[in-house]
Amino acid sequence: MTGPGLPSSAVPPETWARAHDELVEDLRALIRIPTVNPPGDEIRAARHVHDLLVDLGLRPELVEPFPGRGSVACRLRGDGSGGAPLLLLSHLDVVPAPAEGWTHDPFAADVADGYVWGRGAVDMKGMVALELGVIRRLVAEARAAGRDPAADPIPGLRRDVLFASTADEETGGHAGAGWLVEHRPDWLRADAALNEAGGVSMTVAGRTFYPIGVAEKGYAVYRLTVRGAWGHASMPRPENAAVRAAAVIARLAEPGRPRLTPVMERFLAAAADELPAPTAALVRRIADPDPATSQAALEQLCAEPYRRAARALLRDSISVGVVAAGVKYNVIPGIATVEIDCRVLPGTSEEQMRAEIERRVGPDLAPHVEVELLGFGEPVEAPLDHPLYAVMAGTLRDHDPDAIPLPAMAPFATDAKHTVRLGVPTYGFSPLRNDPRETWLERFHGVDERVGLDALRFGLPVLYDVVRRYCG
C-alpha cells in the first residue's frame, strides 16, 4: 500500500495492479530459463532481458566474455544535477535444483497457493523482476511526458539509474561482475548500489523487522588433501586416508567461539531496543562469548532457520561440501580430498582462517594433510551513514507503519565483492513483506524455493519509491 507523499502514490492503483502482473510474468519467464551454474548458460536469460528492454524502447548492452556467460545492462538518464548514478544490481545464474523433494517442478514457475515456485524465485530472479518493474514504470513516465526513455532524462530524475544483471555470481562472479569491473566498469560505477538479500521482513515476538544489508561475510574455499597408505581392505590399517579424512571432518565441524563484530553489535542492540523486556534480554544474551549461553538464548528466541543464521553471523564458519576417497570397496584408499567452504567475519584474514583450519586438524594429523586455497573473497561493509540507507529505512516505514529497519550482515557472499573494488557502497535491499510463517532463509538454495505474490506486490512500489527518492 502506498501513502501520501510517496512517489508511488501518484500512480493509480490499477496501474500498480498491471505492473504486478507484468512483474510476475517476468519472473516466471526467467525461472523457465534454467541458468544453473555450473555451467551457467546465462546468455539465454541475458538475451531475454535484453530483448525485453529493447521492446521498452531502451538501448541495452549485452556481453558474452566467455561462451554462454552473458550479462546485460542499460542506463536511464537523469538530468545530471543530482550526482553519480544509482546501480540496480542482480544476477541471472542459479544453483542446481535436483527435482527430488520439490512440491513443484523447479523450472516450471508454477503459481500456486499465493506463491511463484521455482529455482531463482528468491535467489535472485525475483529481484531481477522487481528491478525490471521499476524500469518499466520509469519508461512509461518518460513516454507520458513525450520523452525518449533511451536518450532523454526521465522526468524527475536528477541521477542516472543503472541496471546490470550479471552472470556467474553463484561461483564467485568472475565471469560476470568481476569481468565487468575489469572491462566495463562504466556498467557498475555508481554512487551506491542496491543488491540482493535485504529489506525482507522477519517477525520476532510480534515485531516486524526489516534487516537491510550493510555488510556480508567473506569466503575462503579450501581443498584438503589427506594422505594415507594404500592396502588390501581385508587387513584394516589406521593409515586409511578415508578414516583420517573422517577425523579431520569431525574436527572441522565443531562450531567456533562467537565473535561480535560492530555491525552485529548494532543489529542486536537495535533489535533489543524494540522488543519487550524478556525477549530483549534473550537477544542481548545471543552476543555472550560463551557458546552455551548464546545457543540457549537462541533456542528460546527463534525458529531453527533464524538460529542457524544467527550462529553463522557470530563466528567464522566451516562447512564441508565435497568428500572423495577410494577406488574400490576392497582397496584401502591412500588419498582422500575434502573441499570446505569457510565464511569469514569482517576482521578475519585468509591467513587467520587457514591457521584456524590447521589448528583444528591438529598436530597428529597435520603431517598427512595438505591445505590448498581455491578462492578467497574479502568481507564487505557499506557505510551506515550513507544517504541511501536513510532513504531505504524511511521508505520501508512509510509503506509499513510497523516496520523496524535494522542494519544487518549477510552470512553469504554476493557480487558486492566486486563492486567494492570500484568503491561502490552496495546494500542488500530486495524489499518483500513476507507472511510471518514463511521460512524465507530456508528457500535460499533449498527445495521448494518460492516467493509470495503479496510480498512482490509490496516490494515493487517500495523499490520504485527508493529509486525515485534517491535519484530525485
| Any domain includes 431 | yes
Q: Which of these, 362, 338, 370, lies nearest to 245 by C-alpha position?
A: 338
C-alpha angle 74/394/152, rounded to 5°?
A: 30
In angstroms, how far is CA 41 from the centroid of its own chain? 20
* Cα(289)–Cα(251) distance, integer angstroms: 20
Task: Please check whether residues 386 and 367 belong to one and the same domain.
Answer: no
Q: Which triple of cell numbers denotes residue 292?
A: 552455551
Please report the pLDDT score of residue 291 as a whole number.
85
What range does the domain containing 241 cover? Answer: 218-377
In this prediction, residue 3 has a pLDDT band, given cuts at 50, 70 and 90, of low
- For the stretch 180-212, pLDDT in tens is 999 999 999 999 999 998 999 999 889 999 999
Phi-psi region of 76 (alpha: psi -120 to 50; beta: other; left: phi over 0): beta
- 393: domain CATH number? 3.40.630.10
Task: Please check whether residues 340 and 390 belong to one and the same domain.
Answer: no
Please report the pLDDT score of residue 257 as a whole number.
84
Q: CB neighbours of 18 closer than 8 A, spacing ≥ 6?
A: none
Segment 225-229 mean pLDDT: 98
Please report the pLDDT score of residue 1 as a whole number.
47
| Any domain includes 239 | yes
Please report the pLDDT score of residue 305 as a whole number.
81
Q: CB neighbours of 381 closer than 8 A, spacing ≥ 6?
A: 214, 215, 263, 346, 409
Task: Please check whether residues 163 and 42 belong to one and the same domain.
Answer: yes
* Cα(29)–Cα(33) distance, integer angstroms: 7
Q: Which of 377, 406, 432 delimits the end of a domain?
A: 377
- For the stretch 96-116, pLDDT in tens is 999 999 999 999 999 999 999
Task: Please check whether residues 142 and 258 belong to one and the same domain.
Answer: no
pLDDT at 179 over 80: yes
| Any domain includes 224 | yes
Do residues 287 and 419 touch, judged by C-beta distance below 8 A?
no
Name the DSSP letter for residue 432. B
Task: Please check whether residues 342 and 223 belong to one and the same domain.
Answer: yes
Task: Please check whether residues 312 and 433 belong to one and the same domain.
Answer: no
- 265: domain CATH number? 3.30.70.360
Q: Please identify which residue in the block is written with the cell numbers 553469504.
A: 412
Segment 38-64 mean pLDDT: 98
pLDDT at 303 over 90: no
* Cα(42)–Cα(410) distance, integer angstroms: 24
Q: Please identify which residue in the block is written with the cell numbers 537491510.
A: 212
Expressed in angstroms, the distance from the first to the final Cα of the chain is 21
Q: Which of these, 77, 52, 228, lies nearest to 132 by C-alpha position?
A: 52
* Cα(107)–Cα(93) distance, integer angstroms: 13
Do residues 84 and 76 touch, judged by C-beta distance below 8 A?
no
* Cα(261)–Cα(287) distance, integer angstroms: 10
Total number of domains constituting the chain: 2
Task: Please check whether residues 237 and 263 belong to one and the same domain.
Answer: yes
Q: Please identify which residue in the block is written with the cell numbers 572441522.
A: 252
Do residues 257 and 289 touch, judged by C-beta distance below 8 A?
yes
| Any domain includes 236 | yes
| Any domain includes 1 | no
Q: What percent of the chain has pLDDT over 70?
A: 99
| Any domain includes 2 | no
Task: Please check whether residues 198 and 276 belong to one and the same domain.
Answer: no
Q: Which of these, 242, 175, 222, 237, lies nearest to 374 by C-alpha position?
A: 222
| Any domain includes 100 | yes
Task: Please check whether residues 321 and 407 belong to one and the same domain.
Answer: no
Please report the pLDDT score of residue 472 as a whole number.
94
In angstroms, how far is CA 285 from the centroid of its own chain? 27
Task: Please check whether residues 240 and 347 belong to one and the same domain.
Answer: yes
In this prediction, residue 256 has a pLDDT band, given cuts at 50, 70 and 90, of confident
| Any domain includes 336 | yes
Q: Which of 355, 377, 399 delimits the end of a domain?
A: 377
Q: Which of 377, 402, 424 delimits the end of a domain?
A: 377
- Using DSSP's 3-state secondary structure scheme, residue 396 falls into helix
* Cα(156)–Cα(52) distance, integer angstroms: 24
Task: Please check whether residues 175 and 71 belong to one and the same domain.
Answer: yes
Q: Which triple of cell numbers denotes residue 203?
A: 517477525
- Using DSSP's 3-state secondary structure scheme, residue 37 falls into coil
Task: Please check whether residues 80 and 182 belong to one and the same domain.
Answer: yes
